[in-house]
Structure 1
Amino acid sequence: MINQDTIINSFEEINLQDYAMPLICVYASPDDFKEMYVARLFDLDKPTHYLLMRPSLESIRKEIPDQFNHIPRTPQDDPKIVETWV
């Protein structure tokens, strides 16, 4: 995983054009942030150190930028993954 996470308040803080293909992966209660929902920015399949935390899935979804599209989780995904946004 990432050595030093940077917790952001909004994805507007990040210049998404700096990434080849930005993805946002949403996790429910990951080991390092129990009882929280975490949205981590990825560049293709590589996690970045940027993440956003909220107490509910609905509050995470409100933070996803409009240009992203929802992708439901697949059986191959980590069990903590709720959904991905592309």
Structure 2
Amino acid sequence: MIVAVYERPKDIPDSYVARAHIWVHGVKAPYASPAIYIARDTLDAVRAAIPEDMSRICRQPMDDPTIVESYM
């Protein structure tokens, strides 16, 4: 599972959002709901909601521009 943190994505433009992306055998799981997310007013509030045992991954050049960081 990878959790991507977004700053004001188009579908929730007034919040920071953390979305779970579930991968199985290198492919995004088709049964994973796009509704698995948390939304908060601040980036720190979203970070506080992510489990402590997840490691932060810096933003990659090919990421969507609204992605701030990811966790796995």
TM-score by length of 2: 0.83
Give the ranges of 4+ consecutive aligned residues of structure 1 lying more than 6 Å apart after TM superposition.
none
Instruction: Give the superposition deviation at 1:38.
Output: 0.5
Q: Which amino acid aligns with 2:65?
A: P
Root-mean-square deviation over aligned CA pairs: 1.3
TM-score by length of 1: 0.70
1:73 counterpart = 2:59:
yes
Structure 2: gaps of 5 or more residues: none
1:60 counterpart = 2:46:
yes
Structure 1: gaps of 5 or more residues: 1-21
Residues 13-71 of structure 1 deviation map (CA, whole Å, 9 limit, x = unaligned): xxxxxxxxx11100000001012000001112636330000001000000110110000
Q: Which residue of 2 aligns with 1:85?
A: 71
Tell which has more relative contact order, 1 or 2 (C-alpha 8 A, sep 6+).
2
Tell me the distance in 2 between the aligned counterparts of 1:42 and 1:25.
7
1:24 counterpart = 2:9:
no
